[in-house]
Amino acid sequence: MPDARFNPDGTLQFGLSQASPYLNFSAAATLLPWLETNLGVTQISGVPGFATDQSGFGSGYGAYKDKTSGLKLRLLSEGPWRPAIAAGVQDPIGTELFPRQYVVATKTMSETQFTLGYGKKLIDGTFGGLRYAPSWLANWSLVAEYDASDYQKFPFADVTGVATRTKGISYGVEYRLGWMSAAVSNQRGVIGASACIEICGGSERYRIV
């Protein structure tokens, strides 16, 4: 589920995540303090890219792959008492297999970050989550969220078995070391893993943070 956090202006982020049947490759750029854009490729295991050897690249192409893009706009910065608020859209053009539209608020209170939002399309209604990063756990964070995805609307949901999944609580643990981070999650019985690196652009030169 999305949140209203933004990386520093000029940050490039490259990520890889896997939770059966999906394998995602992504890249995101914070072009302005209030604008984040992203591109990605999602591979769907168990679904061939081309039905026969005579069509497209044939069986050598492997599993089905879909390109996605999206953007997130900051509507309000976080203040001492108010949350940050953002709106976003995912996959608005092209195949539109993974469309999402949402408005979301995120507020940090001490060592805990709270998120609450509302979505449409593949996000069906209210969602939320929290991220707890206690100082005594150093670089570790504990995360949990209410997943409001409408899995029956996902592409090839019946073929992959995703159609049987329901909304509910997911949880995980994240480790961050400088410009690298990795996470492992349990999405109601589906184990997921992700990793990303961040490159932050300064005013004089690019630097890793």
The CA distance from 110 to 133, in Å, is 9
Q: What is the DSSP string of 31-93?
A: EETTEEEEEEEEEEEEEESSSSTTSTTGGGG-EEEEEEEEEEEEEE---SSSPEEEEEEE--S
Tokens of 88: 């976003």
Q: Do 201 and 209 form a contact (C-beta atoms < 8 A)?
A: no
Q: Is residue 37 part of a domain?
A: yes
Radius of gyration of the chain (CA): 18
Residue with tokens 């969220």: 145
pLDDT for the residue 203: 40
Q: Is residue 2 part of a domain?
A: no
pLDDT for the residue 138: 87
The CA distance from 177 to 129, in Å, is 22
Number of structural domains (the chain) is: 1
The CA distance from 178 to 41, in Å, is 26
Fill in the DSSP letter of residue 106.
E
pLDDT for the residue 14: 97
Q: Is residue 34 part of a domain?
A: yes
Q: Is residue 157 part of a domain?
A: yes
Full domain range(s) for residue 43: 11-208
The CA distance from 153 to 52, in Å, is 25
Mean pLDDT, the chain cut into blocks of 10 residues (209 residues total):
92 96 96 94 89 62 90 96 97 90 97 97 97 93 97 94 95 94 96 94 40
Q: Is residue 5 part of a domain?
A: no
Q: Do 157 and 149 form a contact (C-beta atoms < 8 A)?
A: no
Q: Is residue 27 part of a domain?
A: yes
Q: Is residue 4 part of a domain?
A: no
Q: How many CB atoms lie within 10 A of CB 168?
A: 13
Q: Is residue 152 part of a domain?
A: yes
**What CATH number does the domain containing 189 carry?**
2.40.160.40
**Amino acid making up residue 167:** K
